[in-house]
Amino acid sequence: MDPKPSLPTSDMICFALYSATHAMQHAYKPLLEALGLTYPQYLVLVALWGSDGQTVGQLGQALQLESNTLTPLLKRMEAQGLVARARDAKDERQVRVSLSTAGREMQARAAGIPGCILERSGMSLAGLTALRDQVNALRDQLRGA
Amino acid sequence: MDPKPSLPTSDMICFALYSATHAMQHAYKPLLEALGLTYPQYLVLVALWGSDGQTVGQLGQALQLESNTLTPLLKRMEAQGLVARARDAKDERQVRVSLSTAGREMQARAAGIPGCILERSGMSLAGLTALRDQVNALRDQLRGA
DNA sequence: GTTAAATGCATCGCACACGATTTAATCGCA
DNA sequence: TGCGATTAAATCGTGTGCGATGCATTTAAC
């Protein structure tokens, strides 16, 4: 299952994250496909459902993505009619992203997704939470160093 | 730090993996850049250092990648002179990938990388190993269903 | 009040990643 | 032997990701 049992541990944890991320996206894919969304697009919607009208920079902070990734992604979502993009009147350097009606309605249609994934994971909520905290701790250590 | 505290847990573990993977690749990047490698290319080399002359399919099995990802990746590595690609004489459907001299020499030049990452992670070897096993278990659960 | 620096977003180029399809080689079975 | 089914790579199109760069706007300094 693992690429090579003799791999150094630090390489193996990295590969584990790498392949688990792929497996996770694979699990989300059929659920999101039914809504016409990709995984990063879903993340943008989740962020906006939590707080609408965020700037591109705030979304990037939340999702750990740069503007060069977000701009084309948001433009595709705008073309799909999920969000609207508009320069902030106070500071015209900033672009605020807001949910359209279709974008808000998507929340109800996507409501079943987390439960589906939770079930597929075969883990308890407490187990997942603990794992999440450990993975986040590793991430912050690597980023913050 | 997290996108939204109110996110469902199964979404949050997924995002944790997603962002930790990015952070990990970010940590590898400067080390690999000095060798002229990307992270997936490094993974291919690690796999070949373990067992040279694998087929494209075997590499895909090891790295959990499809031929549509591997073929252009391997072609770039061939253009760089790291590997050679040749049809198997016994079964000409298969393409065997073997290390060049430069590809083998890269192993010594990359020897310090796992130690660097281990240090950057700020975790003990045992801690990393335990985390790796949990992440792998989640991945297998998602994949194997 | 004009200029220099910083900020926020967009553009460009490159490298994955994958679903769907195609092509070439091998296998299975009558 | 022959030919459809299967298998292994390669190809095609779309969508991220990110480093480097550019441009417009705002802020700070003088």
Q: What is the CATH number of the domain that holds A89?
A: 1.10.10.10
Q: What is the Cβ-side half-sphere exposure of residue B31, based on CA atoms within 13 angstroms?
A: 21
B58: phi then psi, degrees, rounded to nearest 5: -65, -40
Q: Counting beta carbons within 10 angstroms of the beta carbon of residue B122, is it exposed (0 to 12), middle (13 to 18) or buried (19 or more)?
A: middle
Q: Is A8 among the domain residues?
A: no
Q: Does residue B1 surpass a pLDDT of 80?
A: no
Q: Is A71 among the domain residues?
A: yes
**Residue B144's pLDDT is what?**
76
Q: Is A143 among the domain residues?
A: no
Residues B83-122: tens digit of each pLDDT? 999 999 999 999 999 999 999 999 999 999 999 999 999 8
Q: Is B48 among the domain residues?
A: yes
The average pLDDT across A119-129 equals: 90
H or E element: which one contains A55? strand A54-55
CA distance A80 to chain B (A): 23
**Residue A143's pLDDT is what?**
84
**Residue A11's pLDDT is what?**
82
B132–A12 C-beta distance less than 8 A: yes
B128–A9 C-beta distance less than 8 A: yes
- Cβ of A64 < 7 Å from strand D? yes
Residue A27 region by backbone torsions, left for phi larger than 0, else alpha for psi between -120 and 50, else beta: alpha
Q: Is A24 among the domain residues?
A: no
Range of the domain at A88: 37-106
Distance B69 CA to D12 C1' (A): 12
Q: Which range is least confidently modeled, A9-13, A137-141, B76-80, B125-129?
A: A9-13
CA B105 to chain centre: 19
CA distance B64 to chain A (A): 7
Number of domains forming the structure of chain A: 1
Q: Which chain C positions come under 7 Å from a protein C-beta?
A: 7-13, 15-20, 24-27
pLDDT band of A10, cuts 50, 70, 90: confident
Nearest to A23 among B7, B62, B142 (CB): B142
CA distance A84 to chain B (A): 20
Q: Does residue A53 surpass a pLDDT of 50?
A: yes
